[in-house]
Amino acid sequence: MSRSLVTGGTSFIGLYTVKILLERGHFVHTTVRSLKNTQKLKALSDLQNNSFKDAMAGCDIVYHIASPFLVPQQIKGGMKDCIEPALQGTQNVLQSVNETQTVKRVVLTSSIAAIYSDSADILKMKDSTLAEAYWNVTSTAADNPYSYSKTIAEREAWKMQEAQSR
């Protein structure tokens, strides 16, 4: 039986991922941001080093889905609300993966927002065609922090993958 960790297991994509994994016979660990049902949950901070290590212990596969998603009206500060949690969460998950020998595979969900934010990004693409080779270059912490957070978190994931020690 495979053991999987799904970060963000109560998110829209996370719920379906957990459901499918359970249907396929996986033993699933998950992380969530809300502790409403504390009987089955343990509080972990995604902003602290090694915060995913306990949840990841014994897992074969890690699905990193967790990332803050807020509508613009909910964002008080782009760095604090979106960018820092997305970047530090990704760094901490991948650092823990690199230190957890049982993990053999990582699936990281990103977003089309990492490729483009507005038409200015599309105009720079060959034939105005979206492709994985392109990055969103117009978003900032002040202008569309969600898209910026997805872009920098994915870029960091690729950078860490290149530098991993195993």
DSSP H helical ranges for the chain: 12-23, 53-56, 78, 84-99, 119-123, 145-163
pLDDT band at 100 (very low <50, low <70, confident <90, very high): very high
84-99 helix and 145-163 helix, angle to the nearest 10 degrees? 20
Residue 122 has pLDDT above 90, yes or no: no
Residue 41 has pLDDT above 60, yes or no: no
State pLDDT tens for residues 132-153: 999 999 999 999 999 999 999 9
Kindly tell me if the per-residue pLDDT of 76 is higher than 50: yes
Architecture of the structural domain at 3-163:
3-Layer(aba) Sandwich (3.40)
**Is residue 54 over pLDDT 90?**
no
Query: Residues 85-93: what's their mean pLDDT?
Result: 94
Least confident residue range of 33-37, 73-77, 92-96, 147-151? 33-37
Cβ 40 vs Cβ 28: under 8 Å: no
Average pLDDT over residues 42-65: 77
Q: What is the pLDDT of residue 34?
A: 63
* pLDDT given at position 45: 47
- What pLDDT does 44 receive? 45
Burial of 7 (0-12, 13-18, 19+ CB in 10 A): buried
> What band does 49 get if pLDDT is binned at 50, 70 and 90?
low
Contact status, residue 135 vs residue 155, Cβ threshold 8 Å? yes
